[in-house]
């Protein structure tokens, strides 16, 4: 199957409800990025990294330390499924599709309504990088190169 191209669209998430299912390192990275755009984040997982738990205690995110339920998606704008259980991720994908909720299954690019980009922020500038789910290392290299250029440009402006 030919890889689909995704339109790069920047969306105001400030009043949108985001649900992240999974409590591991991928979920932690996604949540840390999303916190620059919204505080309406709920993380649902039976176990979570210490960093996620600390974000919950600090009131940065809402944490639910339990298995996910279908009702968790009822008011969600988008869901990120980042568990290490492919069957659970598939169930989340199917539930979101039925509910009309944007979904990203971190481990399966075919089950993504959107790709989670590498994000670069400098002042008012926001840059998102993706390699369409095909080459994460290439996307990371490009993100790092853009960061270097932006740092150099900022230094020249000073």
- Do 86 and 143 lie in a common domain? no
- Do 79 and 132 lie in a common domain? no
Task: Flag whether 69 is in a domain.
Answer: yes
pLDDT in tens, the chain (158 residues): 456 677 777 889 999 999 999 999 999 999 999 999 999 999 999 999 999 999 999 999 999 999 999 999 999 999 999 999 999 999 999 999 999 999 999 988 889 898 888 787 877 778 777 766 666 787 778 878 877 877 777 766 65
Nearest-angstrom CA–CA distance, 119 and 35: 12
Q: Whole domain around residue 55: which residue ranges?
A: 18-111
pLDDT of residue 87: 96
- Do 42 and 104 lie in a common domain? yes
Buried b (16+ CB within 10 A) or exposed e, 6-38: eeeeeeebeebbbbbbbbbebbbebbeebeebb
Q: Which two tokens stand for residue 57?
A: 């205690």
- Do 130 and 99 lie in a common domain? no
The CATH code of the domain that includes 55 is: 3.40.50.720
- Do 81 and 148 lie in a common domain? no
Task: Flag whether 9 is in a domain.
Answer: no
- Do 86 and 141 lie in a common domain? no
- Do 97 and 137 lie in a common domain? no
- Do 78 and 54 lie in a common domain? yes
pLDDT of residue 133: 62
What's the start-to-end Cα distance of the chain, in Å? 48
pTM confidence score: 0.85
Q: How many domains does the chain have?
A: 2
């Amino acid at each position: 199957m030919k890889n689909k191209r995704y339109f790069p669209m920047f969306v105001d998430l400030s009043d949108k409800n985001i649900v992240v299912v999974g409590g591991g390192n991928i979920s932690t990275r996604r949540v840390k990025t999303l916190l620059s755009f919204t505080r309406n984040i709920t993380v649902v997982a039976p176990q979570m990294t210490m960093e996620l738990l600390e974000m919950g205690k600090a009131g940065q995110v809402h944490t639910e330390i339990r298995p996910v339920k279908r009702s968790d998606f009822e008011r969600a704008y988008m869901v990120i499924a980042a568990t290490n259980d492919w069957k659970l991720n598939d169930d989340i994908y199917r539930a979101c599709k039925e509910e009309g909720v944007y979904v990203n299954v971190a481990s399966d690019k075919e089950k993504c309504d959107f790709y989670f980009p590498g994000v670069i922020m400098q002042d008012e500038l926001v840059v998102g990088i993706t390699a369409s789910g095909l080459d994460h290392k290439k996307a990371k290299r490009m993100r790092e190169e853009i960061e270097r250029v932006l740092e150099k440009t900022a230094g020249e402006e000073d």
